[in-house]
Amino acid sequence: MAARQTTTATAPHMHSSFAQFRPLLAGTVLACVLGACATLPPPTSELASARQAVSRATDVDADQYASEQVALARDGLSRAQVAMSDGRNDAARALAQASQADADLAIAMSNQAKTAAELAQRQSEVRQLRDRFQTGGR
């Protein structure tokens, strides 16, 4: 029985010493989290992806069909490069991602416009063929 009394007598002491380490543990975890946020790498891959998307938009003549979106993509890419050179990596990352999205939208709009033009051309050809058949091929 004496051993049990000793164990219960020391248990509150162990609990109170752990309570003293809680703030230290919380501070350590917080420092690690903040340190990880502060050491995010520069958004070089995001900038490269945005550059490639703007280049693809130019290659498919998106300037002709979606000039506003291409201009937004180019402007966003330029602003992302400035932000990265200023050390504002979070802003640079967001601007690069927005630039890539604008370029991708320009590509999609360009492809849609080209497809619509092709469709209109084919429909015109079909109408001409129908007219020929209806008039006896004259």
Burial label for 88, CB within 10 Å (0-12, 13-18, 19+), is: middle
Q: Are 65 and 114 in contact (CB under 8 A)?
A: yes
Q: What is the rounded distance in angstroms from the CA atom of residue 15 to the CA atom of residue 23? A: 14
Q: What is the rounded distance in angstroms from the CA atom of residue 50 to the CA atom of residue 104? A: 9
Q: What is the rounded distance in angstroms from the CA atom of residue 135 to the CA atom of residue 127? A: 12
pLDDT at 37: 53
pTM over 0.75: no
Tokens 């946020």 sit on residue: 37
Token pair listed for 77: 């890419």
Predicted confidence (pLDDT) per residue in 61-115, tens digit: 999 999 999 999 999 999 999 999 999 999 999 999 999 999 999 999 999 999 9
Region 123-136: mean pLDDT is 91
Q: What is the rounded distance in angstroms from the CA atom of residue 45 to the CA atom of residue 76? A: 15
Q: What is the rounded distance in angstroms from the CA atom of residue 81 to the CA atom of residue 42? A: 11
Cα-atom radius of gyration of the chain, to the nearest Å? 32
